[in-house]
Structure 1
Amino acid sequence: MIGYVTLGTNDLKKAAGFYDELVKELGARRVMEADTFVAWSTDMNAPAISVIKPYDGAPASVGNGTMVALAVDGPEKVKAVHAKALALGGKDEGAPGPRGDGGFYAAYFRDLDGNKINVFCMVPKE
């Protein structure tokens, strides 16, 4: 149902470099770009994530309670994406691990602009 998610940035070059490296862990690549935005996906027909300089020219800001969740295929990928984000300068918001008792395995971080990102998978309950 979701086609793409856009996050505001105040430094497009820096944000694009962060996501260029991060999305490699997800098997994604740049699929669109212009002077004010860059978008990444695994395929032009798959959901995408993008960063953009706000259209109104005002500074980008982080939404309180706003988060983007990236689905992956297992706990090892959750760990790898989280570690990559931190290595690229992202800030830890929750180490990889199970959340609750429903098989939800996740990690949380903030990108270089402070946007909150979750990477998660579902694991069978034992």
Structure 2
Amino acid sequence: MIGYVTVGTNDLPRAAAFYDAIAVHFGVGRMMDNDQFIAWGDMASPSAGLAATKPFDDQPASVGNGTMVALMVDSPEKVDAVYATAIAQGGSDEGAPGPRGDDGFYAGYFRDLDGNKLNVFCMVAPTG
């Protein structure tokens, strides 16, 4: 149902470098790129894309309290790798990768360079 998600940025080139590095883990690259926004994903895939955008109203980008983008991968190792890449690119820790509860949800949480909160997760065999 979701086609793409956008996160705001006040520095598009900086956001581009951050998300270019993360996109590699998903096997995608830029699918749209202009002076206003850059989107990553695969136009031929039914999976949702992700875009970083300068706000169209020309006001400063800000972080939505309670807003988070969740990126799905297929293994805990990929969760760890995406999280490590985000931190290496200057992102900040919001919760290191690991199991959350006993229902098989494995996730790591981080913020991008503009303060947008993201999570990378996968489902594994439940522990309980």
User: So what's the TM-score if we normalise by structure 1?
Assistant: 0.96
What corresponds to 2:7 in structure 1? Answer: 7
What corresponds to 1:40 in structure 2? Answer: 40
CA–CA separation in structure 2 for the residues paired with 1:47 and 1:118: 15
Alpha-carbon deviation of 1:42?
Answer: 3.5
Secondary structure, in 3 states, of the residue corresponding to 1:108? strand
CA–CA separation in structure 2 for the residues paired with 1:42 and 1:73: 17
Q: Which amino acid aligns with 1:10?
A: N
Q: Aligned runs of 1:1-126 on 2, under 5 Å?
A: 1-45=1-45, 46-126=47-127
Q: Which amino acid aligns with 1:34?
A: N
Percent identity (aligned): 63
Instruction: Give structure 2 stretches of 5+ with no counterpart.
Output: none
Cα distance change, pair 44–8 in 1 and its aligned pair in 2 (3 A): farther
Give the ranges of 4+ consecutive aligned residues of structure 1 lying more than 6 Å apart after TM superposition. none
CA–CA separation in structure 1 for the residues paired with 2:119 and 2:10: 21
CA–CA separation in structure 1 for the residues paired with 2:27 and 2:43: 10
Instruction: Tell me the matched-pair count.
Output: 126
User: So what's the TM-score if we normalise by structure 2?
Assistant: 0.95
Alpha-carbon deviation of 1:123?
Answer: 0.1
Alpha-carbon deviation of 1:44?
Answer: 4.0
Alignment RMSD (CA, Å): 1.0
